[in-house]
Amino acid sequence: MDTPEKEKTAKELTPTEAINVIIQEAFLAGASDIHIEPLKDKVRIRFRINGDIIDTQTISTEKASLIFNSLKVMANLPYQTSELPEDGHFSADFLNSENKYENVDIRLSVFPTINGSAVVLRILNRAEILLSMKDLGMSNDDLIKLKRLSMRGYGMILINGPVGSGKTTTMYSIILELSQHDNKKNIITLEDPIEYNFEFIRQSQIKSEIGFTFAEGMKAILRQDPDVIMIGEIRDPETAAYAVGAALSGRSVFSTIHANSAIGTLARLVDLKIERGLICYVLNGTIAQRLVKKICPACKQDDTPPLEFIHMLGLENERVNYKKGAGCPKCKNTGFIGRTGIFEILEFNDEIRSAIIEKNPISEIISIARKSGFKTLLEDAVNKIREGETTVEEVIKIVL
């Protein structure tokens, strides 16, 4: 989209106007991040939309440096050039798809590279990040499990998945559900970053640079008489210990953790020095999740995926009505519109707890879980192929 016309418009705008035009365009396109990347003799601007990075335009190094300086002013960063990574934030009003102004928080991260400062603007406070549980893309069985897990009133739920897999949206859907159904609860969050501002919830932004870490936050939160605590991420033994302590004392705790599967979370907790028996005692359940792109309904058509791919998914003995998007103006010729979640939910019961304590192999824990409807991420994703919601290629890319 590097048209001469765009180049001309960019020249006439002041740096602040140019930033606003870029952010407005990204916001309307549904981008989560804007990347401003210095190359050898020009600067490339790219948007991350639905998980993929898309080129939008390139600008001259001179223009980019004016834009960069204005961004620093907007985010209250020191004006002088720094050799160190920096981050800041600002907010401004942008038009949404309904042509109404929406206040948008932008988090700015500056990273020094050999070609100059690379900037990533993360667009926060988007209405899309807030979904009710029923809109997450869960099967009915999983939806019932998630509701049951989150309404339990005590204990811990841990969610895992790579960056950008929708974990925050799942946690926010739990908060939304709890705050709608029970306003007698005191809900407090520790987040980094806060991606959506709830009206009636106390949300707190982690500031590691001044010593306000997840662990420090947990220590303080327990003195705030909480019923429900959401922790952005558990990544160190101290935070893990506080979180387990809070769950043991009758609070509901939910958080994300770095692991590859619902069961992988157990090994991660052992890594974080939580004793096996304690894990079984406090955990209500673990959830693994990913996001897959949804086929555009306007150009959906039959698909004949390569046999090799069908074998990879174990679908060779099944008749499946495969679908794909042909590409149309509505989906900007990508064949996809939006994304949906795929899930693996391990709900703990006594049988699973004793299997874990007895250090039974994972395969055995899975077969016990299957008795109450457990399915793996891949099985959930394959269901989405059967339902014509996503493509074989997308599932192979995201889940395998």
Binding site for Zn ion (CB under 5 A): 296, 298-299, 325, 328, 330-331
d(Cα 274, Cα 236) in Å, to the nearest integer? 11
Q: Which is nearer to Zn ion, 296 or 377 (CB)?
A: 296
CA distance 49 to 26: 9
Q: Phi/psi at 29 (nearest 5 deg)?
A: -80, -5
Closest to 317 (Cα-Cα) out of 382, 375, 388, 371:
382
Considering the complex, state which of residue 268 and residue 300 has its C-beta at the smaller distance from Zn ion. Answer: 300
Closer residue to Zn ion, CB minimum distance, 299 or 310: 299
Burial class (CB in 10 A: 0-12, 13-18, 19+), 136: buried
**DSSP E strands: which ranges in the chain?**
31-38, 43-49, 52-59, 86-95, 101-113, 116-124, 155-160, 187-191, 202-205, 228-234, 252-257, 283-295, 300-302, 323-325, 336-347
Strand order in the sheet with 252-257: 202-205, 187-191, 228-234, 252-257, 155-160, 283-295, 336-347
Nearer to Zn ion by C-beta: 215 or 296? Answer: 296
73 vs 298 by CB, closer to Zn ion: 298
Rounded least distance, CB 127 to Zn ion, Å: 23
**What SS3 class is residue 203?**
strand
Shortest approach of Zn ion to residue 300 CB, angstroms?
8
Which of 44/332 has CB closer to Zn ion?
332
Which is nearer to Zn ion, 279 or 331 (by Cβ)?
Answer: 331
C-beta atoms surrounding 367 within 10 Å: 13
User: Which two structure tokens, joined as six digits, stand for 224?
Assistant: 């705030």
Smallest gap from residue 299 Cβ to Zn ion (A): 3
CB 50 within 8 A of CB 338: yes
Buried b (16+ CB within 10 A) or exposed e, 242-253: bbbbbbeeebbb
Q: What angle do CA 375, 380, 385 make, to 5 degrees?
A: 150
CB of 327 to Zn ion, least distance (A): 6
Q: How far is the CB of 52 from Zn ion (least distance, A)?
A: 16
Q: How far is the CB of 329 from Zn ion (least distance, A)?
A: 8
How many Å apart are CA 393 and CA 305, to the nearest integer?
8
Q: 95's torsion region: left (phi>0), alpha (psi -120 to 50) or beta? A: beta
Smaller CB distance to Zn ion: residue 15 or 51?
Answer: 51
Which of 39, 298 has the CB closer to Zn ion? 298
**In sequence order, which ranges of 222-292 are alpha helices (DSSP H)?**
237-248, 264-271, 276-282
Answer whether 352's CB lies under 8 Å from 359's CB: no
CB of 315 to Zn ion, least distance (A): 24
- Closest of 151, 135, 131 to residue 228, by C-alpha: 151
Nearer to Zn ion among residue 54 and residue 176 (C-beta): 54
User: Least distance from C-beta 305 to Zn ion, angstroms?
Assistant: 18
Amino acid at 218: M
Q: CB of 335: closest distance to Zn ion in angstroms?
A: 6
Least CB distance from residue 323 to Zn ion, whole Å? Answer: 12
